[in-house]
Structure 1
Amino acid sequence: MGRYSHTPERRRWLTPELIGLGVLVASTAATVVVATAVGGDRAATGDPASPSARPSATDPSDGAGAGATDGVVDAGDVCAERSQLRVAAVDAVAPVLEELADDACVTLDVTVVSGAEGAVLLEAGTVDAWIPDSREYALAASAEQAVAAPSTAWSPVVMVAEPATAGAIAAAGAEAGTPLAWGVLARDGGTVGGLPVELPDARSAVTMSLAGLLSAATQAATGDQYLGLAAAAGALATTTEVADADVAGPVPPGIVRVMEQRDVTAETGVVLVTADGAPVLEHPWIGDTGLPGAVALLEALASPEGSAARAAAGLVDPGVATVALGAGGAGGVDGAGGAGGAGGADGSRGTVEVPALPSAGEAVLRPAFALGGEGNLPGNSLTVLDVSGSMGRTTQDGGTTLIQTVTQAFATLVHTLNPITRVGLWEFSFDMEPGVHHRELVPIAETGENLDALIAGATQAQVVGDAGTALNSTTVDAVRAVREAWDPERTNLVLLFTDGRDEDAPGALSLEEAVAALSSELDPDRPVALMMFGMGEADTAAMQQLVDANGGDGGVYSATSTAQLLGAFTQVVGDTLLFP
């Protein structure tokens, strides 16, 4: 195979229908591009796959408390005393801290971590602070800190292509008279003008940042939060993964790679200039900012020396209005720290200033984290699908039936769940068996074991002629089933999808009887959240009564289209299956 041979792995299970979800929501963004080449290699700073303590002048086993001073100052030391500080930090920021610590009179012990590892160390008291991959990851510590914690550095995210592909993108953009913008990924179903897009690991901060950006952009254009989430989910579902070890390697022809600019080298390819700006990964300081060592190090980060240390690591100062695309690597695009000239579509070296696009805020953080998958708690859940006759009707946006809409949304979002999340699947109508209104399609088990069965069960679900809807009885049965299988280490919940209202029939519970049953069986020691999704003419008022009777832990979500339902499902994952 040649140098550019490329066999991508699909990020998520796909069907042509699922791929189509990415283009259901049109974004206002257009196509294509000015391009600049980059150079300069970034030295490796540690293995982000697992925590690894860096050498430190401080022995963390000496019993010194957080913020303590070691009291040992050599004759040439300008510091009257030194504060001790233990920090878990992402590999991008760790060398910045180490560069600044000595002059800040801080004896620093840095542990390089990735993902949510730092949250575990922080909670255990092993470290005094955690600097995660992004604000989305900071949710693993707390939502409050994820939003409010000060940033230590920003890392621009860019699109990269090999020179010939970049030139073709530029030519197409010039012909159409439209500049490249990130919204094209939502508009074109996760592609750039039809060119496939690859991302780092599905759980990477880059993926989460992109999810938040696409969601916020589409929501701003449509005024609909669910459509924004659907656009992000649909776009991400069609991308492919590039292995961490290959991220900085050459981008194959005909592919666009989304990655951190600090990882781009001269070998990687050409940075495509996105007219709407560059999303940035924010690296917040999670922990007590009042510790003496923290105060000193945060002051150093805010100094000119802090800016220089960030630039050397391929990062930018937090809060900047613009970032320079094409200035990847430690030495700048010309390899000597210079900014270079204006970049051209022919791949010439240079930089172009574009707006910095930080996190869109609290409303987007949780669903973006959910779409990335890393933040999902190991849930214990049961999904219940209405297969009564009316689910065979087409949706308001046309093209698919209601049951197809539900199963497509389920199949797309189930891939975002933690593989140790337990999920089961039921279908229901009326009297599917004598006196029983539901049928178990897949028993509750971890998705790492039953993912294929869940997808097959959902996609093969068929409406049952003109069968009625035993909504009340099935709701009670589903809550009971999850409570019987209740797990104290997991989020326990029922997700029920229906398009109608309960149809009274012999043997089925009335609304009053179902409300009474749910209320009488409430168990504060074994709570079960009830999430009900209403499509079409669903009786959302009755559904709300059922949720309230179950203790109010849950909600009712109404959707009128495939995209809205996908967005609502994404919102539920963000609201219920994340770290608190």
Structure 2
Amino acid sequence: MSGAHRETGRRARRRTRRARRAVAVVCMAIAAVLGTSVYALSAITACSGGVTTVDAAVAPELAPAVSAAAGAFNGADHRARGKCVRVTVRAAGPAGVAALLSGQIPAGAGVRRPDVWVPDSSLWLRMLARPPRAVGGPLARSPLVAAVPRSRASGTPGTWKGLLDAAEPDERRSRAVRLTLADPSRTGAGIASLLIAREREGDASFAAFARSVRESTAPDVAGEFGALAGTAARPAPVLAVPEQAVWEHNRKDPAAAVQAVYPQDGTLSLDYPFTIIDDRPGTRLFERALRGGEALGRFRAAGFRDPAGRAPGAFARTAGLAASPPAVLAEPGPALVRRTAQEWARLTLGSRMLSVIDVSGSMALPVPGSRLTRLQAIAQASQEGLALQPDDTDLGQWIFSTRLDGDRDWRQTVPMGPLGGRIGSVTRRRRILSALAGLRPKPDGATGLYDTVLDAVRYMRRTYRPEMVNTVLVFTDGRDEDPGGPTLDRTVAALRAGRDETRPVQIIVIGFGPDVDTAELRRLADATGGSVYTARAPQDILRIFGEATARRLCAPAC
């Protein structure tokens, strides 16, 4: 080969390396912008014969390590059936994928079906009536432990039985510890905690346990650590968390490091099974890569045990963690897993909604193809949707336009409270139905959307109830038209500034009619992790109610 050709080849290789580095930077930027998602994209290299892409939805805590492994896999130019295989990895809450596979989320709800799923626990697979057939073994493990402030570790019961007894008051004593769980409807750690409680408590005591801990349930594992604030308080805080979460917390916040208590009566582990939903070319190649030494090294570096339960070498040198494997409980069967999850839902699930309805002048416009005005259509659909809510749903109602109450753009029509509760001589349900029937547009009213939404979210955050899903439900047919109110940028900034992941209040916006500014509404909803729907006909609104309810299972990572 001539010198000129050798020099040309070196330049080409340098260009390829620079291109790969540039793509890596772009990938990190995408992950930073999207926040809840991690993407592994391939370097742009020549690929004759086309490309096949494998979409992998991975439990958020494992997703960064899987993403890094996928990046290495993509860079190796694997091929299947004559095509280059490229893997994309996204962080996805396991509840959303499980709801999708079980048919709870409608096909049109905007939740993407993955080719590969790595949930945090195989318990999700046992809850499915028709689990995927191609379920591999675990990629990693993380046993459930009790995390406590180090100053209180010596006084913490050393068994789950002791912890559960200490967390539940009775007629003779108050509870000695405040046990916090991750939401069992959204996390494998939460489900595992419930199953341990059921095993230790039995049927009669389980209901009492569920009622006693529902107020201290966090949305996810990361949110549990918020319960450690004010560690001198009584009762003492105890978190049921995966061991890896202790590793991650102590690494990020060593000043507030916690101790992992490994229950002597045994525990369950998160096991991160590699699950093939759609056996596309290349999925088996990727699975083999994730079971290789390089990927296992990435998982250990992130604080996970290997599939056999062996701890990362760093655990032996890390205070607060133990390298030896804990005692293991028997794995629960599918029937017990489903029953326990269903019982928790019946005992604890509640909704708390503030309905905010636009009554500006444009709501008097007719709905094409019907005899209804826009406001009448929304009121009619809301009345039908109300019939679907149980009596223990907390609901309040506001209406808004401009200057409805002095200089204020909104007015309360029904105060917040349970639908079955009474307001004077009638139930709140009856009062809301009556208020809906009496809605009238304000003829000269504009749309004071931004300050109304801000006040509604602030109210729901101020009066937050942790045992309920707290939502602001906004009905509008247009965009903000209040020159005296805040700008969109200021409103979004204020919503973000007040956001607390341990006390989430989401905005669900239903835009009705052809004048809706979807981009504007989406910015408002995104600032709270909420969602936007558009309706063209009254029947669309009831469908949207169902979709919005289904998406609660996977928010905010849908």
TM-score, reference length from structure 1: 0.44
Higher relative helix content: 2
TM-score, reference length from structure 2: 0.45
